[in-house]
Amino acid sequence: MLIDPARETGQLTLLTNAMVREVTTDAEGRATGVSYIDTRTRSEQKVQADIVILAASACESARLLLNSTSNQHPNGLANSSGVVGRYLMDSTGTTVAGILPQLMNDPDHNCDGVGGMHVYIPWWLHDQHDRLGFPRGYHFEIWGGRGMPGYGIMNNIHTYNDAFAGPDERPKGGGGYGPQLKEDYRRFYGSVVGLSGRGEMVAREDNYCEIDPDTVDQYGIPTLRFNVNWSDAELQQVRHMQETGREILRSMDAHVFGDMPTEEQDYGITMPGEIIHEAGTTRMGDDPRSSVLNSYCQAHDVDNLFVTDAGPLVSMPHKNPTWTIMALAMRASDYIIDQRNKGTL
């Protein structure tokens, strides 16, 4: 999105097929550029720079910093605090779905171009945490409509038949071929509605990624390994998501698919990383002993190094993170321009 306007300035050189290995530094420990693998030739190349800005996504930027060791930065670049890779967060997630009988047998009509992407219910109980038993909030993303039918949903629909079997209902189990399949689609198409919850994870130091000493990628660059677990805060939040989602669907007379997940099933929470909103690995803060970056995404330890992905996030937004990443990147960019104009960077 921003590459075209940057190109129009005539100041951008875009290097593709370039897999960055590490940030290079000088004898004082300041950043001098990056070294990268040309993925076509597998040769190692270097780029010199006055300022290095990493925006490789939260975990990859942490990997680059941790792989950039030197005499001045033995624990990895910008990592005198030991915080790089720590406080790793993802959004919590779970989904509830059901079939709405009032939407069944919808006459064929053209829905081309109709989308419900990110219609959502924002968090509404921000002043009631005392009674909820968990901190932070979540939202629901609502989905449904007459998209491409999938037979996975049809399998769930058979639970509807099991629950409401009557003389005009389809036999248990149903079928998967021919006229019966077509009949199922005509009857049920567009009648499934789902609520996907996405919420805030609490940032905790003991959730982290680190360099795996035993594994490298295809370019010989050491990879990450992960140590991330949900706490009771996230599990109780997702229990609330499940209970509330079911209540909303039932109030619409839906037949809800599946039983409420139990405590042993972790209330149906996704795996850490599954929602793909990783954040927090190079957190910002005022104290260099407990954070990697300042509020302009500038490394405390290396003044000409910036990180502008979701690594700087100190807490997880309950809404998906990309606009926050963009806002912080804009603020960092304004700061860099200002400092360059003043001659202080």
Query: Which one, 184 or 309, has the nearer CB to ligand FAD?
Result: 309
Angle subtended at Cα 111 by Cα 105 and Cα 114, rounded to the nearest 5 degrees: 125
Q: Which long-range contacts (CB under 8 A, 24 or more apart) does 321-330 make?
A: 321/91, 321/277, 321/279, 328/297, 329/55, 329/297
Report if residue 327 touches ligand FAD, rule: CB under 6 A.
Answer: no
Q: Of the candidates 163, 252, 276, 337, which one interacts with ligand FAD according to CB under 6 A?
A: 276
Report if residue 22 touches ligand FAD, rule: CB under 6 A.
Answer: no
Report if residue 309 touches ligand FAD, rule: CB under 6 A.
Answer: yes
Dist. CA 57–CA 60, nearest whole Å = 6
Report if residue 19 touches ligand FAD, rule: CB under 6 A.
Answer: yes
| Shortest distance, position 36 Cβ to ligand FAD, whole Å | 6
Query: Which one, 105 or 322, has the nearer CB to ligand FAD?
Result: 322
- Pick the piece of the chain touching ligand FAD (CB under 6 A) from 12-20, 43-51, 128-136, 189-197: 12-20
Query: Which one, 61 or 161, has the nearer CB to ligand FAD?
Result: 61
C-alpha dihedral, 164 to 168 to 171 to 176, nearest 10° = -110
Residue type (1 letter), 46: K
Query: Which one, 209 or 254, has the nearer CB to ligand FAD?
Result: 209
Report if residue 321 touches ligand FAD, rule: CB under 6 A.
Answer: yes
Q: Of the candidates 49, 51, 56, 142, which one interacts with ligand FAD according to CB under 6 A?
A: 56
Report if residue 260 touches ligand FAD, rule: CB under 6 A.
Answer: no
Quickly tell me which residue has 């419900």 as its tokens: 116
| Shortest distance, position 197 Cβ to ligand FAD, whole Å | 14
Query: Which one, 54 or 157, has the nearer CB to ligand FAD?
Result: 54
**Cα 2 to Cα 10, 97, 324, 330, distances in angstroms:** 14, 37, 16, 11
Query: Which one, 56 or 260, has the nearer CB to ligand FAD?
Result: 56
Task: Fill in the DSSP letter of residue 115.
Answer: -
Nearest to 34 by CA among 57, 16, 52, 56: 52
Q: Of the candidates 325, 328, 332, 336, which one interacts with ligand FAD according to CB under 6 A?
A: 325
| Shortest distance, position 169 Cβ to ligand FAD, whole Å | 37
Nearest to 314 by CA among 138, 136, 141, 140: 136
Residue nearest to ligand FAD (CB): 309
Nearest to 98 by CA among 253, 263, 219: 253
Report if residue 322 touches ligand FAD, rule: CB under 6 A.
Answer: yes
Dist. CA 45–CA 2, nearest whole Å = 25
| Shortest distance, position 265 Cβ to ligand FAD, whole Å | 25
Dist. CA 333–CA 307, nearest whole Å = 11
Q: Of the candidates 22, 60, 184, 234, which one interacts with ligand FAD according to CB under 6 A?
A: 60
Query: Half-sphere exposure (CA, 13 Å, Cβ side) for 100?
Result: 18
Q: Please give the residue ranges that form the binding site for ligand FAD (CB under 6 A).
A: 18-20, 55-57, 60, 276-277, 309-310, 320-322, 325
